[in-house]
Structure formats: C-alpha cells, structure tokens
Amino acid sequence: MILVFDIGTTAVKGAVFSMTGRLLHKESAPVQHIPSRNSHVHETDPEEWIRIITELNQKLFQSTSLTAAVGKVQAIVVSGNGPTMIPVDKHGKALSPAMTWLDRRGIEESGIIKKLSGISIDPSFYLPKALWVKRHASELYEKTAFFLSCSEYVVMNLTGEAAMVFPGEGLENFIWTDELLDITGLDKNKFPPFVEPGSQLGTVTSTAANSICLGRGIPVYAGGPDFIVSLLGTAAVKPGRACDRAGTSEGINICSRVKIDDTRLMCYRHVIREFWNVTGIISTSGKALEWFRDNIYQKKLDYEAIDERASMIPAGAGKLLFLPYLTGERAPLWDPNARGIFIGLSLHHTIDDMARAVLESTGFAIRDILTVMEERSILIDELRITGAPAKSDVWNQIKADITGKRILVPEITDSELVGDVCLALYGMGEYSSLEEVSEQMVRISQVFEPGINSSIYNDLFGVYRETYRTLKPLFAELAAIQEKG
C-alpha cells in the first residue's frame, strides 16, 4: 500500500492506494489562513499541516477494510503548493508562519535581485521571500536553519532530513543557485540540497511514527511541487498534452519537444527528461470564484448552485468581462500591481451575469497563456484538467469554447495524489520509467469539445487583453498610492 498527501492552498488531501494504483480511500480537510489586512501578506500556520495530516491518517485507516492494513504501508510521498516557504530550526520546527505562494511582500526584494543579477524573479518565489526575511526580520533569519517549501517541511518532520526537490533544468533561478545566493548575500547553509523527484529521502522516524500515527521505518520518497506531480497524475507526458492544474490558482503545463526562451512563460525540463515543460501560472482562478461567492453571494450558495445559475446565462455574460487579477498576475503578464475589475457592467446585468463572467475570466486567462505558447510554435492538442474545478461541466465547457481546445477529465481528478503514487512506484522500482507508470495509472472519463460559442469568445478575447494593456499604468499608479499609506 502507498500513502500520499498533498498540501493545497485551501485543503490538505490524503489517500491510500494499492500497489496496482487503485484508489482505496481518500480524505481531505480545509486549511485556515492567518487573516491580514495587508494585501501582500498571505500566511498560514505550518503546524496546522501536521495536525491535519495526523487527523487524515487516522481517518484513512478507520475504514473497516483498511484498519488491518495500517502496518502494510510500503511508501509515503508528500507533494505541495509552491513556492510556499517556511523558516525552520535544525529539528524542522517552524519558526514563523509560512509565507504562501500568494505572499508578495518581497516586491522590493524582487527588484533588488533583478538589479544585482539582471534576472527577473516574481515576488511569489523563494529568493525574494528569503531576502525579505533577512532584510526585515533579521532575528528570525539568524535563527533559521533551513528555508523549506511546504512538502519538504512535512518530509523533514517525518524523516528528520532537510532537502529540496528540484523539478528540472531551467528552474534554478526560480528556486535558488549558489550564484544568486552569493549575489544577494544569503547564507548557503540555510538552503538544503536538491534531490530528484522519486528519490528516497529517508524513513519515518520513531518520533514521527508516534506523533503522526505512522509505522516507523516506512520509506519516504520525494514528491515535490504540485505542478510537477500533476503532470504525471494527468499523463501529460507526451508532446501536445497539457495539464490544466485548476484550483485556487491555475497552472498550464504543456509537454513540449522544444525549449523556448520567453520571459512571459517559464520553461524547464519536464519530469520526463527528454521533453520540456512550458508553463504559465494564473494567480487567482478558483480563488477569484471563492472571493465572488464569499463577498457577492455572501456564502449563500455552494459552488454547484453557482454553476447551475451561471449555466443559465448566455455565453459572454451579456458582454461583461472580469479581470481575475486579485493578487496581481503571473503569466503572461508578471505584474504584481494588476488588480481585478469588471468591464462593461450596466444596469441590466445581474449577480448571475457577474458569476458567469468570473468563470469565463479563467478561460480568457488560459487562452492568453496558450496564445503566447502558440506564438512560439508550441504544439497544444488538448488540456487535461485536474482539481476541484474539473468537476464543473459548465466551467469545462467554457474553457473548451474559449480556448478552442479539447478538455479531458481524468477518472481521478486529484492529479497530485495520482502523481505521488507514480513517483512512489517508480522510486520503489516497480516501473522502469515515469512515463510508463503515468500512462498506466491515468484513465480519461470525460471529453469536452469546443462548441458554437467560440465565435462570441473570439471577439471578447481581444477586449480582455486590451483592457489590461490600457489599465496597466493606472494599476501601477494605484500601487504607488497604496505604498504611501
């Protein structure tokens, strides 16, 4: 049996799989975030992840069929959202709240890194955050033994070993390099060694076995960032296949034969090393819908009800557009100052029109990324969608209509968990390659084809792009005013 956990932005998921890759049982629990009135600060308590994993582990094995199997776990893999960062002591104890991937307080530090090195690194990534800690929380910086991501934090608590999963060539600057650490004056000893996905990191210690209710000595294999394991969990392992990792944010990852150099996108070695992963990340997709539900619908409806009401609104939402840049935007804009806005709002629009516009905004944001990819001659045949939004037929069809691409939905939409299993089976030597195990584990259950609404969306897409370009200087001016207090 294989035990896997994925630390999401809003929930932690855990599952037990058989050695043949069959899902035996799954559990999840929400993650609470620390409230802040500073729009750049997004934190959560790392100890909550450990508490939730302990609870999930107990629930997973309370099932009658699995109670006797708790001692038969042969491997553990943990993946997580990135780039969330936690300063820890030498024992792996968190010294402060985790700075989640949404945290952008390192905007100034990002500018410093670019000035010193000529390399642009978004404030959401690790180095700007670590440099922020050094510059603004010097006592915390001195106490820090390691800066870890969320999955590696959990792994250190399981095994006592500090490591950082390195997804592949091309991501060095977005994680860290010795050169960048030297340039910024950051202590290299505080940054753990890199390991490959699927490599064994250690075994569960006696302390962890007692506190998290696991068996001592179980091998723990490297999982890594969610956007990497999702490639395996959707079988986006052949050129032309893209993984649309939908959730709080949205990551579009296309398996490509060719490497590209374009600052609007990220490009690095695919987990299948002969290929490249060309990727663009949308900062707030599911999070935008959550914001809309909580603040406009005021939590009166669940997501299924919102889907149903939005499905009754014609495509284009009455020529209403929404920019989903609620925490700035990453690809292809890389603008931390960008903000959300409704365009075209009039007296005839309803709250349901607005909900439809929010759903459609994700499709436009995806198309914005795909357009840049195709400008660089990247082949894109299909989007394999994963995450909670994959359960929304309305949203899936909107994405197909706006992007003009087929949307494929796997049987198990928790692709991080499936990808974790792939890494475990590969690490244990059960398969000769990651491509082989991924193709074996993933089965497609639904396909959404582009429909008759494509022409409407073609017209609106140009307005969507031009709206940001027009408002960009105003977003910058507003950010400057906010900085003044």
Spatial neighbors of 332 by CB under 8 A, at least 6 apart, are 264, 265, 280, 368, 369, 372
CATH number at residue 18: 3.30.420.40
Q: Are residues 12 and 123 in the same domain?
A: yes
Q: Which of 209, 225, 203 is nearest to 152 (CA)?
A: 225
- Looking at the DSSP bridge assignments, the partners of residue 80 are 7, 225
The total of other beta-carbon atoms located within 10 Å of residue 35's CB is: 7
Dist. CA 219–CA 15, nearest whole Å = 16
Cα torsion angle, 28, 254, 104, 475, sign = negative
pLDDT of amino acid 69: 61
Domain finish residue from 199, 226, 253: 226
Any long-range contacts for 181-190 (C-beta under 8 Å, 24+ apart)? 183/113, 183/116, 183/117, 184/112, 184/113, 184/116, 184/127, 184/131, 185/134, 186/127, 186/130, 186/131, 186/134, 190/130, 190/144, 190/145, 190/146, 190/147
How many domains are there within the chain?
Answer: 2
For 2-19, give the DSSP string: EEEEEE-SSEEEEEEE-T
What does the chain come to in residues?
Answer: 485
The helices-and-strands tally (H runs, E runs) of the chain is: 17, 22
Cα torsion 100, 105, 107, 112: sign: negative
CB 247 within 8 Å of CB 388: yes
CB count within 10 Å of CB 382 equals: 18
**Distance from C-alpha of 291 to C-alpha of 330, rounded to nearest angstrom:** 18
241 and 212 together in one domain: no
Cα gap 52→324, rounded to integer Å? 30
Are residues 333 and 427 located together in one domain of the fold? yes
Collapsing DSSP to helix, strand or coil, 422 comes out as helix
Same domain, 162 and 258: no
**Whether 125 and 272 share a structural domain:** no
Cα four-point dihedral sign 431, 437, 439, 443: positive
212 lies in the same domain as 327:
no
pLDDT, one tens digit per residue, over 125-150 is: 999 999 999 999 999 999 999 999 99
pLDDT number for residue 485: 66
394 and 410 part of one domain:
yes
Same domain, 160 and 252: no
H/E stretch holding 281 reads strand 276-282
Tens-level pLDDT at each residue, the chain (485 residues) = 999 999 999 999 999 999 999 999 999 999 999 999 888 899 999 999 999 999 999 899 886 466 556 568 999 999 999 899 999 999 999 999 999 998 999 999 999 999 999 999 989 999 999 999 999 999 999 999 999 999 999 999 999 999 999 988 988 988 999 999 999 999 999 999 999 999 999 999 999 998 888 889 999 999 989 989 999 999 999 999 999 999 889 999 999 999 999 999 999 999 999 999 999 999 999 999 999 999 999 888 999 999 999 999 999 999 999 999 999 999 999 999 999 999 999 999 999 999 999 999 999 999 999 999 999 999 999 999 999 999 999 999 999 999 999 999 999 999 999 999 999 999 999 999 999 999 999 999 999 999 999 999 999 999 999 999 999 999 999 999 988 86
- Burial category of 446 from C-beta neighbours within 10 Å (exposed 0-12, middle 13-18, buried 19 and up): middle
Q: At 334, give phi and psi (nearest 5°).
A: 50, 60
| Domain span holding position 94 | 2-226
Nearest to 253 by CA among 412, 119, 385: 385
Predicted model pTM: 0.91
**Long-range Cβ pairs for the range 62-68 (8 Å, 24+):** 63/24, 63/25, 65/24, 66/16, 66/24, 66/25
Question: Could you tell me if 101 and 82 are in contact, meaning their C-beta atoms sit under 8 angstroms apart?
Answer: yes
Note whether 298 and 306 are within 8 A (CB). no
Q: Are residues 220 and 255 in the same domain?
A: no
Same domain? For 239 and 265 the reply is yes
Which residues, at least 6 apart from 319, have a Cβ–Cβ distance to it below 8 Å?
344, 460
Domain boundary among 193, 210, 226: 226
- The position carrying tokens 């909107």 is 398
Query: Hey, what are 300's tokens?
Result: 């009166």
184-238 confidence digits (pLDDT tens): 999 999 999 999 999 999 999 999 998 888 889 999 999 989 989 999 999 999 9
Q: pLDDT tens, 314-324?
A: 999 999 999 99
State the amino acid at position 322 in one-letter form. Answer: F
Together in a domain, 183 and 299:
no
What are the tokens at 54? 């302990």
**Domain stops at, among 226, 255, 277:** 226
Comparing CA positions, the residue from 3, 21, 9 lying closest to residue 58 is 3
Residue that the structure tokens 């609470």 belong to: 32
Strand-strand pairing, 321-323 and 341-343: antiparallel
Instruction: Give CA 317 to chain center in angstroms.
Output: 28
What tokens were used for 210?
């007692």
Element (H, E) at 473: helix 454-483
Pairing assessment for the beta strands 276-282 and 266-269 based on DSSP bridges: antiparallel
Burial code (b: 16+ CB inside 10 Å, e: under 16) for 57-71 equals: beebbeeeeeeebbe
Helix axes 226-233, 415-427, angle to 10 degrees: 80
- Whether residues 241 and 221 fall in one domain: no
Of 20, 5, 10, nearest in space to 60 by CA: 5
